Structure 1
Amino acid sequence: MTDSRQPVVISGVTKGLGRALARRFAALGHPVAGCGRSADALSELTSELGDGHRFERVDVTDAEWVDAWAERVHRDLGAPGLVIANAGAITGQAPVWEVPPEDFDTVMRVNVGGVYAMTRAFLPRIADGGALVTISSGWGRNPRGMLAAYTASKFAVEGFTRAVAQEAAQLRPGVRVVAVDPGGGVDTAMLATCLPEEHHTYPTADQWAENAVDYLLHRLPAHSDATGLTID
């Protein structure tokens, strides 16, 4: 980010990594615009973080809804310096022939379609020198059996992000588009879904966010052609 006063935009702020990131950025004085699907959770986050932030109910699988939200964010808070496409979905562990079609479709629509919608809406509105970060996974680089849908979605995110990084130069110089692996397990509801026996052995989302926010603010590579990025 080129200016600490520029807003940070995060999808999927009602729980897990997104909520932890919103809390940490707000604690450091950054205006945060976030979206999610739970009105109650968004209301709680609004009450917790106070004035100067904007949280709205938005479904990232609806590209037009995301675009309308992006326009309101840009109008009310200004051009974002950092956009984090974080919203995600996962299935429990199962061979692919036991995964219902509707579950596979949900994972792909949220994890891939949601990244597309966030990119389409926010990249043209991002500040000079800003960054769009897609949250990937180690399983988006090394396949994980019994989680084929999630693996496929994160491989798609990696490829999509690298392609968009090449396109970003057409907008303006200095805009970065990168996929970032959170850096191993984080104890969230999503991890509990796929690793029910071990999720509690990993750091909490709030613990992870302390280092993750520092990485996103200060240690992202200066160019969009970086690949294989992982938060330490």
Structure 2
Amino acid sequence: MDSVSTSTSVVISGVSRGLGAALARRFAALGHPVAGCARDREALDRLRADLGEGHLITVTDVTDADAVERWAGETVRRLGAPALVVANAGYISPQAPVWETSPADFRTTVDVNVVGVYTLARAFLPRMATGGTFVAVSSGWGRNPRGRLAAYTASKFAVEGFTRAIAQEAEELLPGVTAVAVDPGGGVDTAMLATCLPDEHTEYPGPEAWAQVAADYLLHQVPKEPNGASLTVPGP
């Protein structure tokens, strides 16, 4: 499969802001039905109004496996089997040495960034269209560690390993379905980046400019890459 047909649905977690919201708007503009989730009801209401009819934007917590399972079932019933699933929901805390990182912050980072990828993989991989691609959003800090961001680094290293493992499982048990980890590439000026790089985040392109390139890359280039690959979105 060289690309995703404009009639097929795209699933994205974490669509209330940042990369997820920008991707949802871009995929919808390209004619794809979008199934998106997040926890911020007001932000989702705004996104739903922007996208219009034909999409499924729901309040779902990616750390709740049962809720994600229900969302996946509803997605397939209403929009059909997705050809692209983007596990994008993420969390990062301000820079601090690990001994100043609270247990609550560490656990939230792991729950959202790792458990959130697991719940989407568990719910959507067996429901994906043949030729579909599961994308786990990773980070350059999931390949090269970053001091003072140990929790985030640990979570993204876990995402990389988890994705390679589920790629092997998909290759054996779900022929035609692939899983890859994708680093957004070079930094994007989002609220998350502002949290960890408060003095630098404005130096990077915004989510909308990034999504213009990223959507095309995810639709047309990623399906050609090897199963289990660690990839990077080209810069805008």
Task: Compute the displacement of 1:170 (Å).
Answer: 3.3
Task: Compute the displacement of 1:136 (Å).
Answer: 0.2
Instruction: Please state if 1:204 is matched with 2:186.
Output: no
Instruction: Please state if 1:231 is matched with 2:226.
Output: no
Quick one: which of 20, 26, 33 aligns to 2:28? 26
Letter in 2 for 1:4: T
Pairing of 1:164-183 with structure 2 (within 5 A):
164-183=166-185
TM superposition outliers: structure 1 runs of 4+ over 4 Å: none
Letter in 1 for 2:232: T
Aligned to 2:80: 78
Aligned to 2:195: 193
**168-177 vs 49-58, which moves further:** 168-177
Task: Compute the displacement of 1:173 (Å).
Answer: 2.0
For structure 1, the 5+ residue unaligned runs are none
Letter in 2 for 1:25: F
Letter in 1 for 2:19: L
Aligned to 1:105: 107
Task: Compute the displacement of 1:174 (Å).
Answer: 1.7
Inter-partner Cα distance in structure 2 for 1:90 and 1:31: 29
Answer whether contact 1:84 1:134 (CA < 8 A) is retained.
Answer: yes
Instruction: Please state if 1:138 is matched with 2:140.
Output: yes
Count of aligned pairs between the two proteins: 232
RMSD: 1.0
Answer whether contact 1:166 1:224 (CA < 8 A) is retained.
Answer: no
Please state whether the residue corresponding to 2:157 is helix, strand or coil: helix
Inter-partner Cα distance in structure 2 for 1:41 and 1:134: 23
Task: Compute the displacement of 1:172 (Å).
Answer: 3.0
Inter-partner Cα distance in structure 1 for 2:228 and 2:65: 27
Answer whether contact 2:180 2:230 (CA < 8 A) is retained.
Answer: no
Answer whether contact 1:176 1:222 (CA < 8 A) is retained.
Answer: no
Q: Give the TM-score taking structure 1 as reference length.
A: 0.98
Task: Compute the displacement of 1:223 (Å).
Answer: 4.9
Aligned to 1:6: 8
Quick one: which of 199, 222, 228 aligns to 1:220? 222
Answer whether contact 1:176 1:223 (CA < 8 A) is retained.
Answer: no
Aligned to 2:40: 38
Aligned to 1:94: 96
Answer whether contact 1:94 1:146 (CA < 8 A) is retained.
Answer: yes
Q: Give the TM-score taking structure 2 as reference length.
A: 0.96
Answer whether contact 2:167 2:178 (CA < 8 A) is retained.
Answer: yes
Aligned to 2:186: 184
Cα-to-partner distance string for 1:197-217 (whole Å, 9 max, x where unaligned): 010110000000000001001
For structure 2, the 5+ residue unaligned runs are none
Cα-to-partner distance string for 1:92-136 (whole Å, 9 max, x where unaligned): 000000000000000000000000000000000000000000000
Percent identical: 64
Aligned to 2:158: 156
